[in-house]
Amino acid sequence: MTKKPSRVCLFDIFPGAQGEEDGNSSTSLPEYCLEAGISGDGCISQVVDEAAIIISTVTDQQNQNVSGSETPCSPDDRESLCSLHHISKILLHISVIVTIAATALSICLLLQYFYHPAVQQACPDFLENCDQSLNCSLGGSANLCPPSRLPSNRTSATEYRSPVLLLTGRSLLQVYSANAGKYYTVCHQGWMPTHGWTVCRELGFDSHTLSSPVPLTATDPTVLEAFAVVNKTIGSSSNIESFLSPVVTCPTQEGVSLQCTDCGRPAGESHRIVGGSPATWGRWPWQVSLRWDGRHVCGGSIISSQWVISAAHCFVLSSFLTVGRWKVHAGSVSLNPATSHSVRNIYYNGQYNSETNDYDVALLKTSQPMRFSETLRPVCLPRTRQQFQTTGNCWISGWGHVSEGGQLSPVLREAKVHLISSHICNQSSHYPGMISSRMLCAGYPDGKVDSCQGDSGGPLVCQEDGLWWQVGIVSWGEGCGRPNRPGVYTNLTVLLDWVYHRLQTDSVIP
């Protein structure tokens, strides 16, 4: 069975390459592989306009008066000689300017040829902290830090533990204690909004917090194993763990429900996408177009004011690793240029496997925060152990091909899909043994509705309790809209630790 490993298309980026069928051409570019070169900045020299000079001619009478004997200069003769002297000065100045310009151009060309400044590259990122000497801005895509040999700086164990968990759709707060080696459910008694800021900064967010009490009955059993209350008299303002004191049970049987972003709320309710229809204004305000040198390559989703989540293969498969050549276009349903944001850093999961497309997740940080509006706002990240129904209200969106082998859609399209269990998707009739725990499938048995080339990195979202949660990331699939070949998506719920770890360890939080 032939499998297309990703849903990013080379011809979406370089459309002229597909149509070249010149008889002199003996080879064609592969659809999924392009070696991207890095070119230096061009050097522009200023052209000096030559001045037009009108030279007076000597009259015939003056020519006839010239003799071999020395005669005193007449006023007309002196005027003519002065004009010639002035002209020679002008010509000398012009020659000097031309020489300086030619020299500057030569120096610029030599610098461009010999000098190649360090270019920041997209960086593979493991859960564990790698050697601090590793500088991704100076190297290629190779990262020699193995994910299981160096422990995280937050725990003495080799397994990374997120300092904060937000559980299930109710966003119930748990805090990890490195000393005790376990998570504590935080009781609402003694909780203050300022504690929410501390927790959200631990998760890498710094834009919005909202907390409320939530009953601890009829909830996930793991939240009933250990409890802690906030101790107002001790603790550091930068570490929520130091505020907590373990207790046997929460005094009021209430925990803390916490939101760190005002997420998952579209401006209005109403399909690239095979078998879909155009999306309405503001319906998916987190959807972005990722552009390489101005060309749409992949989709992505806004998760905070400076972070966009996408797929690792968008950057790795075609070696599109130069950060400065990427732009984030957001706030529009049109594929035409919209609000553009420069990219500061790109991280992709260091365990991404280009053969199997496992761990297909990446994060982009914009140079400046994005301003939220009715058409630009974040989607909700799923919560730990949050479950979504296979027949729930789930949608995909993107500007990708409207049919297999077709063209990009000029407008954002959307389509409703059903989640498909991994047990079914791993059967021989679908993708035998290809679906890992970091993947999930969505679509229909008869196909027809599916994501396609150009949709890679875009969101699979499901609605629950009035909010839209990003369940998956468009990753790969065999063809587009084929029967028993549904789209395969990165299972974002399973990879939350990596996402939060990356947000927490980023050195700059505005």
Give phi and psi for 12, each to the nearest 5: -70, -25
Q: What single-letter amino acid sits at 58?
A: V
Our measurement of the distance from residue 211's CA atom to the centroid of its chain's CA atoms, rounded to an integer in Å, reads 29
Of the candidates 264, 356, 363, the residue with the CA atom closest to the CA atom of residue 311: 363
List C-alpha distances in Å: 14 to 169, 190, 298, 337.
42, 58, 14, 17
Beta strands in 331-385 (DSSP E): 339-349, 362-366
Our measurement of the distance from residue 101's CA atom to the centroid of its chain's CA atoms, rounded to an integer in Å, reads 41
CA dist., res. 376 & res. 301, Å (int) = 10
Give phi and psi for 178, each to the nearest 5: -65, -35
CA dist., res. 129 & res. 335, Å (int) = 38
Residue 143 parent element (H or E) = none
Q: What single-letter amino acid sits at 285?
A: P
Count of residues in the chain: 510
Active-site amino acid positions = 313, 360, 456
Beta strand 123-125 with 459-464 is unpaired
Q: What single-letter amino acid sits at 322?
A: T
Task: Tell me the sheet residues that pair with 199.
Answer: none
Of the candidates 339, 346, 358, 354, the residue with the CA atom closest to the CA atom of residue 435: 358
**Which DSSP state fits 157?**
S
CA dist., res. 174 & res. 185, Å (int) = 4
